[in-house]
Amino acid sequence: VGGWTDHHAGCRPVRPMSAGLTARAVSPAQLCECPGCGLLQLVPSLARGMTAYCERCPTVLHRTTTHPVDHSIALTFAALALLTIMCTTTLMSVQTAGIAHSAYLLSGPAELVRRGMAILAVVVVFVTMLAPFGKLLGTLYVLVRLHETTPPRHLRRVFALAEQLRPWSMIE
């Protein structure tokens, strides 16, 4: 692409997301097309916490994070704790005219089994409990093992498996 120099003259200056960050480059320079206006431009190497913007429009082309892996571990652990609480507590209780009914996460599948729909009950348990736990545990395992000086080679497979559970994990 003509007109580009080694000094990345076609790119707007990058701005830090927060002050006091070290200037370690974490990504190599690359040619990219702005998804907002279609302009081709070189995105320079970015230090942690920096953002590259399109020179023509305000679209963000690339952003590096300032959050260490520890933040992801904490959030994944919190999601795992909340999922555990949701699976073990009462979701709803109704009391009318002296009659009380409580519903738990497994109340629906239990009723499906009573009505002869055991296969559907298994699917419901899988998408509401097993897949979300599998995804969160797999993600947590990968994030914790990334702290090692030489992470094991199988982490990619574990993460790929955890990501395959994403469409089946009805965590909402």
What's the pTM? Answer: 0.62
Structure tokens at 137: 């545990």
pLDDT digits (tens, 9 = 90+) for 9-50: 334 444 444 433 344 444 456 788 888 888 888 888 888 788
Distance in angstroms (rounded) separating the CA atoms of residues 17 and 98: 58
Query: Residue 151 has what pLDDT?
Result: 87
Question: Tell me: the pLDDT tens digits for 88-119?
Answer: 999 899 999 989 989 998 999 999 999 999 99
